[in-house]
Structure 1
Amino acid sequence: MLHIVNGDIVGDKLRAGNIRGDILVWREVYPVGPVFVEMDEPHQRSPRVEYLERTLGISADDYVTHYKSQEQILQNFHKYNEIVLWFEHDLFDQLMLSYLLHWFSKQTLGHTKLNLLCIGDYPGIDLFRGLGQLSAKQLEALAGTWQRIGQKELETGSRIWEAYTSPDVERHVEILHQDTSALPFAHAALELHVSRLPSAKNGLGIVEQTTLELIRHGVNTPHELFKEIGNRLSVLGMGDLEFWYRLRCMSERPHALLEIRGPHTFPDHRKKTTASFEKCEVALTEVGMTVAAGVKDWVEMKGINEWYGGLRLHDDLTWRWDSDRKQLVYTE
């Protein structure tokens, strides 16, 4: 049996418990940077490698090494009679799950049976963020409660992945109007995905907007901001390295939304935290106050060059996302 899980913490706890089988930790961050329908093509992988190194500090060598290792195990899936996918409700995991379901939907499974364990809460935990919160014993208690993956789950995962990797923004929205109930947590996660796009109100995505609101209400250190963002937008499943990148973008001049006061260096994947960064204070600039109030559009002021899945956002962006009406609004 092969267990595919979403992170090293979960993998280590499964190994510590009485879980039969091999463990494959799937190391990816699909909510961040460019992704494509077929991720195993080198010419498509290279822009992702460059992006993750530039934004999150993940070295190209590390990424390629992990990628090749996990893909090799996946290619040899026929050696296992059963495979269990362990995932949770947030966007981070739902995209990972969709990728794997898309991949398996293109394979001849033969004797291999696919199973899914996917949860969005756990008894006794008020704000369930993920499987990593559970102890080895709690994870062990979940063993065997997984459900068989059938054609409907494979097709749904594949449709989600193909929509998310599309360069057409309308496909990112259309998937919200399709039946994705075979994967019960997908719809809420995908709604939060499109809410990351520039809004009709001021050009900010939900992460940037929420960050400015928190600062206006007195949350003024990087780590407190990350904690509160995690509480308010837990369905994103956003890691610290991605948030530091978003914070860095918001503080870059010209047209910075916020100012980070004090000497500091943003953490990267090699150095998770620095003492100077922990002691910094964050405050809104005049631009930040104006944009947060909806008086100006940040994309119009600053421009944009960003990726969300297969969607690349350029300066000539002609649409915004209206979160109230849940639809695209075109500017010309």
Structure 2
Amino acid sequence: MLHLVNGDVVGEKLKRAGVEGDILVWREIYTHGPAFAEMEKPAHRKLRADYLEETLGIPQAEYLRFCEQQERWADEFQGEIVLWFEHDLFDQTMLSLLLHRYERLGAARGQTMSKLSLICIGEYPGKPAFRGLGELEPSQLAGLLGSRIPVSDGMLRLGSRLWEAYASSEPAALMRLLESDTSTLPYADAAFRAHLARLPSSRNGLGSIEQATLEAVASGIGQPIPLFQEVSGRLSLLGLGDLEYWHWLSGMIGREAPLLEPLEEAPLRLPGYGGPAPDFSGAALRMTALGQDVLAGRMDWLEYKERTEWLGGVCVRTSNGWRWDAENGFVIKAGFGQ
């Protein structure tokens, strides 16, 4: 038995619980950087490795080594594979990628992947504010093993379609899929709608992470750690980690046209991958005049934003591209104000 899990915390707790089988921590962050239907193609992998190193500081060689090792292990394992995931976007993108991968692997072998099973939860008794599997005690995690269900052909097909739509450069494809029946994977709908809300708003060009950050600062939360806690809690469906959030925050501080600025003259140094724990003592942010105008809907952030972002397969670089219409809960493609 191979337990394929979403993070080191869960992996370590399963080891402590003494569950039967091997444990593979799937090391990826599909909520960040470019996504492709065929992630293993060398050109796609190189583009993704470049982006992750540039934006998060993850060394290319380390990233590529992890990809090769985990894919080989997951593809070649012959026994039962148990997928351990939860309800947020971080996990649902990972789950859909793996289902996409296993559907194609089964097709290539001319057989159904009959030894796949799934544990995927969005709540747990006694934890009203459940955020993820890592919150559970080792014994509680081990107790979930008996609730695993076989991965059906329908789950494989839907997971594959979700991944292909997520990796598409046209987010309307994902929107159309979410308008259909996705109940086979019950947490996919809410998670992928939360993804679409990360697109620039039709109102002011802010994605949901940037919008929540400015609103938090406007409410008086200016220190980086409390900001991360507020935004990640408010947008809990994203499964937003600190490293990813520091990337978004650094883009809002910017250089030429920032939304936020440090109260002190010294620049705010945000940590990167593998770096020391951040020392934010005395650090705080405030909104610039542009930040106030954008938050109020008087200006469009994409007219000033300095860098390109990838949201799944969508490259966000101009003001005349895909937008999120929060009022109607839909994606549109139009210029600002149209």
TM-score of Structure 1 vs Structure 2, range by shorter chain: over 0.9
Length, aligned pairs only: 329
The answer to whether residue 287 in structure 2 is matched with residue 284 in structure 1 is: yes
Given that residues 251 and 259 in structure 1 are in contact (C-alpha distance below 8 angstroms), is that contact kept between their aligned partners in structure 2? yes
Given that residues 2 and 22 in structure 1 are in contact (C-alpha distance below 8 angstroms), is that contact kept between their aligned partners in structure 2? yes
What is the match of residue 63 of structure 1?
A: 63
Q: Where does structure 1 lack aligned partners over 5 or more consecutive residues?
A: none
What is the match of residue 250 of structure 1?
A: 252
What are the Cα deviations for residues 13-35 of structure 1, in whole angstroms up to 9, with x where unaligned? 10110211111100000010001
Name the SS of the counterpart of 2:315 in structure 1: strand
Deviation of 1:272 (Å) = 4.9
Distance 1:183 1:110, change over 3 A: closer
* Counterparts of 1:161 and 1:272, CA distance in 2: 34
Deviation of 1:137 (Å) = 1.1
What are the Cα deviations for residues 119-145 of structure 1, in whole angstroms up to 9, with x where unaligned? 001111121111011111111111111
Distance 1:57 1:96, change over 3 A: same
Q: Where does structure 2 lack aligned partners over 5 or more consecutive residues?
A: none
Distance 1:272 1:115, change over 3 A: farther
Distance 1:319 1:68, change over 3 A: closer
Name the SS of the counterpart of 2:204 in structure 1: coil
What is the match of residue 272 of structure 2?
A: 268
Which of 296-305 and 107-116 deviates more? Answer: 107-116
* Counterparts of 1:235 and 1:261, CA distance in 2: 31
What is the match of residue 91 of structure 1?
A: 89
What are the Cα deviations for residues 213-272 of structure 1, in whole angstroms up to 9, with x where unaligned? 000001110000111112111110010000000000000022200012344321111115
Query: Which letter does structure 1 place at the counterpart of 2:273?
Result: H
- What are the within-5 Å matches in structure 2 for residues 82-161 of structure 1? 82-108=80-106, 109=111, 112-161=114-163
Given that residues 86 and 92 in structure 2 are in contact (C-alpha distance below 8 angstroms), is that contact kept between their aligned partners in structure 1? yes
Given that residues 199 and 322 in structure 2 are in contact (C-alpha distance below 8 angstroms), is that contact kept between their aligned partners in structure 1? no
Deviation of 1:74 (Å) = 1.5
Deviation of 1:42 (Å) = 1.0
* Counterparts of 1:97 and 1:302, CA distance in 2: 32
Query: Which letter does structure 2 place at the counterpart of 1:93?
Result: D
Distance 1:319 1:311, change over 3 A: closer
* Counterparts of 1:169 and 1:158, CA distance in 2: 16
Query: What's the Cα RMSD here?
Result: 1.5
What is the match of residue 167 of structure 1?
A: 169
What are the Cα deviations for residues 265-305 of structure 1, in whole angstroms up to 9, with x where unaligned? 21111115222x34310111111011001111111233652
* Counterparts of 1:146 and 1:307, CA distance in 2: 34
Which of 217-226 and 172-181 deviates more? Answer: 172-181
Name the SS of the counterpart of 1:107 in structure 2: helix
Deviation of 1:201 (Å) = 0.9
Which of 43-52 and 259-268 deviates more? Answer: 259-268
* Counterparts of 1:13 and 1:310, CA distance in 2: 33
Name the SS of the counterpart of 2:71 in structure 1: helix
Deviation of 1:47 (Å) = 0.9
* Counterparts of 1:278 and 1:149, CA distance in 2: 48
What is the match of residue 47 of structure 1?
A: 47
* Counterparts of 1:243 and 1:318, CA distance in 2: 23
Aligned residues: percent identity?
45
Given that residues 83 and 112 in structure 1 are in contact (C-alpha distance below 8 angstroms), is that contact kept between their aligned partners in structure 2? no
The answer to whether residue 300 in structure 2 is matched with residue 302 in structure 1 is: no
Distance 1:18 1:257, change over 3 A: same
Given that residues 105 and 155 in structure 1 are in contact (C-alpha distance below 8 angstroms), is that contact kept between their aligned partners in structure 2? yes
Name the SS of the counterpart of 1:267 in structure 2: coil
TM-score, normalised to structure 2's length? 0.94
* Counterparts of 1:248 and 1:57, CA distance in 2: 13
Given that residues 196 and 331 in structure 2 are in contact (C-alpha distance below 8 angstroms), is that contact kept between their aligned partners in structure 1? no
* Counterparts of 2:236 and 2:242, CA distance in 1: 12
What is the match of residue 182 of structure 2?
A: 180
What is the match of residue 15 of structure 1?
A: 15
Given that residues 202 and 291 in structure 1 are in contact (C-alpha distance below 8 angstroms), is that contact kept between their aligned partners in structure 2? yes
* Counterparts of 1:142 and 1:122, CA distance in 2: 10
Query: Which letter does structure 1 place at the counterpart of 2:270?
Result: F
